[in-house]
Amino acid sequence: MTPGARIAAAIEILDRITAGAPAEKVLVTWARRSRFAGARDRAAVRDLVFDVLRRRRSCAARGGGESGRALLIGLLRERGEDPAALFTGEGHAPPPLAACETTAGAPPEGAAALDIPDWMLPAFEDSLGNDMAAVCRILRERAPVWLRVNTARCTRDEAARLLADEGIATRPSDHVDTALQVTENERRTRNSRAYRQGLAELQDLHSQALCRDLPLAPGARVLDYCAGGGGKVLALAARQPRARYFAHDAAPRRMRDLPTRARRAGADIQLLSCGEASGRAPFDLVLCDVPCSGSGAWRRSPEGKWRLDRPELERLMRMQVQILEEAKILVSPGGVLAYATCSLLRAENEARIKAFLAANPGWVCHFRRRYSPLRGGDGFFLAQLGRKQTI
């Protein structure tokens, strides 16, 4: 595909996404019916689509509209490229710019320049303070690719050498000792020997840091109550193989790949069906990585930034309250209830813990930490709660 043809494909895909279709579904459908597109073409089109989704408001401002065509015009202008050089109408390129398109658009201002919704701006100001603009700029960029080395099976240096043998360059994190950032040939990772043999897993830097900060002891009973795909429980199992691990999710289908991933990693994780967790309680550690706005990971899932509204955020916060109430009864005396989000919002983080403690005076917070995108990973929050000790 020519550069112009890639632009035309991205326009078509973006029009479907802005009409309400999920981005991943549209991209997969386009790739299946576009047999002419090679792997590099598919990757390039995908990158164009996600670059626009991360910067949708600023692209719309510069392009003068919300259509896929206007958004691509805006992206090219932001990059300092002349849209007329690619909008030629030749071959499969999009038609040339109309006179009105050459004059449409203006530099974005306010929340549009930060690429966040207007209604979210006060919450970001309250939650991030002086870091707000810098964090918003990071959320407009592509996320780095991080691997978690399965240190139960190999060292980080050994994993890096195996990856390098297949042309995948990495560099170690300087503050998370399981983490490798992929710096070259990111798309080869899933087919690498290290990945297939369970020596390395894709996992964000701060997701790894959060798992590092959880208390683990040999023989502990650990429940990942909102396990999803199971990345965190796998990280915990690699860190302390002598503990016992259980995984639960309100939507069990999310865990469908976890048994395969666990076998590959050499981890023993027992899946619990809905309602089964209470029968297996108590647990020494209950991790609740709760559904949230996902604002700390918007550069990976930029659709969420534009689909989230106040009613949906309020629904998510009600769910967070419910999950904490369900999970607290599963914690053993002296055990830890860990509350985690990939959110930047105070309402989902510090305020949620404050409300829980107010409603549960027999509990205290032992540990609380924000993991900022300014340090290389996604935005996360972790609080560790426990029952007050009585004499």
- Active-site positions? 342
Chain centre distance of CA 59? 22
Pairing of the two strands 200-202 and 380-387 = unpaired
